[in-house]
Amino acid sequence: MSSNELFCKICREEDTVFNLINVCFCRGTAANVHFKCLKQWILSSGRIHCLVCKSRYTGIHLIARPKGLLSYINQNKMTIVSHCFYLGIQYYMSYICLEQSLVRTDEIGYNVGSDLLRLMGLFFGIDSSIYSYLIITRGIKDYLQWKNTNFNIDVIKR
């Protein structure tokens, strides 16, 4: 190895000093990295500090942009689908109870069964509305918390 041949501490490939950068306080063979290797490491690991010397990387600029709503929905789609399915069943049960109470009243007049079905329909409707409110407020809170901790990171040389 000649005096201007060094190793990238990430990919371990030998290269010249002109193609490597020093971004932390490490010295010797652990001091140099390829910019593309460092960028890939930061993007895959999310770490912006050196694992060896624990210093924050220098000579680079990190741009963190929050991920959007579609990314959140994609990451939490099973939870969202299960809530929608449950709400669909609740609203359908409410509709069936109310519809059957009207049919029974039309066919046989006033009876206790139709009042019971109306009450069940009302219960399912109120329960669905309360559940919808709670899920929506919880979803908004979870999304805002998720948005503050999930970023797309760009790494740029200074």
Q: How confident is the model at residue 157 (pLDDT cuts 50, 70, 90)?
A: confident
Q: How confident is the model at residue 1 (pLDDT cuts 50, 70, 90)?
A: very low
Give the number of other CB atoms < 10 A from CB of residue 87.
15
Question: Can you tell me the distance from the alpha carbon of 21 to that of 156, in angstroms, rounded to the nearest whole number?
Answer: 13
- Burial of 123 from C-beta contacts in 10 A (0-12 / 13-18 / 19+): middle
Q: Pairing between strand 151-157 and 5-7? A: unpaired
53-57, Cβ contacts within 8 angstroms, sequence gap of 24 or more: 53/24, 53/25, 53/26, 55/24, 55/25, 56/24, 57/23, 57/24
Question: Can you tell me the distance from the alpha carbon of 122 to that of 91, in angstroms, rounded to the nearest whole number?
Answer: 10
* pLDDT value for 2: 53
Residues ≥6 apart with Cβ < 8 Å to 111: 104, 105
Q: Summarize pLDDT for 29-80 with one digit per residue, the tens.
A: 788 999 999 999 888 887 888 888 998 888 888 887 888 899 999 999 999 9
Nearest C-alpha neighbor of 75 from the set 133, 138, 142, 132: 142
Q: With 0.75 as the threshold, say if the pTM is over it.
A: no
Provide the token pair at 61. Answer: 């600029």
Q: Summarize pLDDT for 85-126 with one digit per residue, the tens.
A: 999 999 999 888 888 877 765 555 666 667 788 888 889 889
Q: Taking the chain, what is the end-to-end CA distance rounded to the nearest angstrom? A: 29
Residue 135, pLDDT > 90, answer yes
Question: Can you tell me the distance from the alpha carbon of 37 to that of 44, in angstroms, rounded to the nearest whole number?
Answer: 11
* pLDDT value for 106: 57
**Superfamily of the domain at 5-58:** Zinc/RING finger domain, C3HC4 (zinc finger) (3.30.40.10)
Domain range list for the chain: 5-58, 69-150
